Each structure stands twice: as structure tokens, then as C-alpha cells.
Copies of this chain bind each other. A is one copy, B any other.
């Protein structure tokens, strides 16, 4: 199926192609330009096909189950759904614990989710699943479980809460947060290459825990369908923007350190149960297409700091060319405007590296509007206080793209380490 090792085999094709291929993750900005970050090998380590490799036609793919039959393992040292090459569809579900939910009940939720996730991701129905036929082709289904700040009070274990696990500081310059897209004591992130699989898994997992964990919000999003974009190529968002040029990749020596906790927070606190875990910052960002469509391509490119066609920095030719923030034009103005998204998002040091894996949303519009769309932005890292917050603070202060983007939802979750066979996600929190 789709394990990491077999993917590595096609890396040679990236390397022979040079800068044209790369990186699956993405973000609303293509900024965060680091030193050695990204480069010619994507974090999935895959790229474009060699010209001489057999490429099937649409007929062959459509009449097959190759996309549906692929699986991602649930068990392992880290949870799936973080470094997994992004699937085409995702649902993010936020839950609040019912008043009076006990520690044992919370453990029961985590155990039930882990058991059902192990079954569903391998193509079996959930334990209480009356429609196991809907689970038969998992299409690389992953289920990622997160713990929100409030959970630790609910289970009377506030001392076990990582110091970075708290709601983000307010960014009053930009935030228009709505409670219906924000917060949550528990998270389910459900991703698959088939939208029906996502719907079924979401339903099974959410309905099984009613009474203890009440679903607060659900956000569905998508990326380009499998077979419409080489996985190594960076994707575009609804602004037409090449989106996520820079992401840490598995070839980076610090890839694991960027993503996975060693149990210590940047402020020195130690939470042994979080070793191998990660964190998720989830932001729902409305993109105001109406006003975006009022500006021309040049203005768009100046806002991004990159070319639309290639994704290259305005000082370069190819997407992964390094940016020259000192370059000036014939009248002495910076070629990459200092207020451009790219210039503002640029990593100030390697500690700001994070992995982004966003999804586009396009929901039914409100009355009188043509669209209701934007980005479900996700950032994964060992410690978001060290990474996400300083970057977001700069962007809130100044970012040309803020004119057309509005954060309307915000949540932070601890993603415990993966579960071994027979164990459950979050188990370490309750042991020792």
C-alpha cells in the first residue's frame, strides 16, 4: 500500500527533475522561507513521474479501486495524519466534554476512537458500524486525535497540560473569531482520498461518544483530487496562489525535532507523556473572493511577494529559488515589498519551522453572497509558542494579504504520540 518506504523509491525522479517538483504541504502564504528548508525533495519524498514511466489513462483509473484500496497505518510511534502526504479530503471535528464527564469516561472515548480508527483505517467497519460496506475502501484514511486545553481541567489533571497548550493570544488587528468554529476539548482530524469515506468515518466516530463528548463544530475541506496534480507539486489555493512552497521535509535533519515533542516545552516544562507527540494550530481563514477579484495580477503578486504562474519569488524564476529581500528595482523600491506575505512570514530562525497541511473549504454561501470559502489552515509543530505564535504576530501586525483574509475560527490541540497495537491514543496521559 502506501507506506513511507515505498514512496522513497520515486525520489530519484524528483532529483533528476531539479526544481520543478516538490513538497506536498501548503499554507495560505507561501512564505516561511527558511535556509535549507524544503529544497528539491518534498517531505513525502516523492515527485513527478519520469517520462518513461507508464502513466495510466483516466479510464484505467476510474475502472479500478487503486485509490480506495490504499491504506495508512494507524498504529506507530507518531499519530498518522501529520507527516502523511495530505489526502484529498478532510473533516475536522471539535468536541466539548459534557459537564461532569469523568476521567474514566474520557479514557473510554479515547479508547473507543482508537479502536474504531484502527478498524476504519484498515477497511473494516467500526465496532458498532451498521454500514461496514462504507468502510471497505479506506482510501488512505487517517484519524488523528487531539486534546484541547479544557480537557485537562475536566479530568482534574491540570498539571499534565503542556505549557503551550492554551488558546492563542488575540490578534485584534485581524481576528473576527466565531465561537462556532473555535475551541474544543477534543479534536478528530479525519482525512482520506475519498469524500464518502471521510463522511462515514466522521459519523461513526462522532455518534459513538455522544453523552460524553458533544460535537461543537465540524469543518470539511479538500485539496486537489488524486491524479489531478503530481503529489510532489505545490498546490494552489482559491486565490490561485501556489501555496506552501516551504515546508520542512523528511530529508531535513531536524524534521522530527520540528514536528515531534521530546516532552519538553520551550519554557522548560517537561511532560513525559507527550514524547513523540505534536501539536496542531487550526485556523479557519475566510478568503474574501469578492474583493480579491477586484485587483489585478500585478497587485496580487506584490501582495504575495511571489509570481502566480510559477510561485517563484519576485526576485527569482523558479518556485524554489531563494528570495532576495535586498533587491531593489530601477527606482530603488524593494522588488519584494516588505509588507508582502512572503517577507512577513519568512522564518526569522529555524525554530519557527512548522509543517502546514491546509484544506480549502467552499460551503453554502450566506444569503446575498456568491461564495463562502477559504482555508482550513493547519500548522503542526512540537511547540506552537515557539513557532506559530511569533510568525502569526508578525503577520497580524502587517501582511498585505490580510486585506482579503479574515480568521474566523481558532483552536489549539495537543496531538499525543501514536498508539501501539492494543493501546489507545492519549493513554500515557493517564499512566504514571
Binding site for B on A (CB under 8 A): 1-2, 6-7, 10, 13, 46-49, 53-70, 85, 88-89, 130-131, 133-134, 137, 139-140, 180, 193-197, 199-200, 202-203, 206-207, 210, 215, 217-220, 222-232, 236, 238-240, 289-290, 293, 296-297, 300, 308-309, 360, 362-365, 367, 369-371, 373
Contacts and interface: CB of A to CB of B under 8 A. Distances in A.
Secondary structure class of chain A's binding surface, majority of residues = loop
Nearest to A13: B63
9 contacts: A2-B58, A53-B60, A54-B56, A57-B70, A68-B228, A133-B236, A137-B228, A195-B362, A218-B364
A378 to B, nearest CB: 17
A290 B203 CA distance: 10
Centre residue among A224, A226, A227, A240 by max chain B CB count within 10 A: A227
Contact of A203 (B59, B195, B371): B371
B66 A227 contact: yes
B229 A68 contact: yes
Nearest to A130: B297
Given A65-B229, A193-B225, A195-B222, 11 more contacts: A13-B63, A54-B56, A60-B66, A62-B226, A62-B231, A67-B228, A89-B195, A180-B367, A195-B360, A196-B236, A210-B370
A174 to B, nearest CB: 22
Contacts of A6: 59
A240 B370 contact: no
B60 A207 contact: no
B2 A194 contact: no
A416 B315 CA distance: 50
Contacts of A225: 67-68, 88-89, 139, 193-196, 225-226
A57 B131 CA distance: 27
A218 B289 CA distance: 16
Q: Which 5 A-B pairs have the closest CB atoms?
A: A131-B240, A67-B227, A68-B228, A58-B70, A56-B56
A65 B130 CA distance: 36
A22 to B, nearest CB: 12
Centre residue among A49, A67, A300 by max chain B CB count within 10 A: A67
Nearest to A7: B59
Contact of A63 (B1, B46, B296): B46
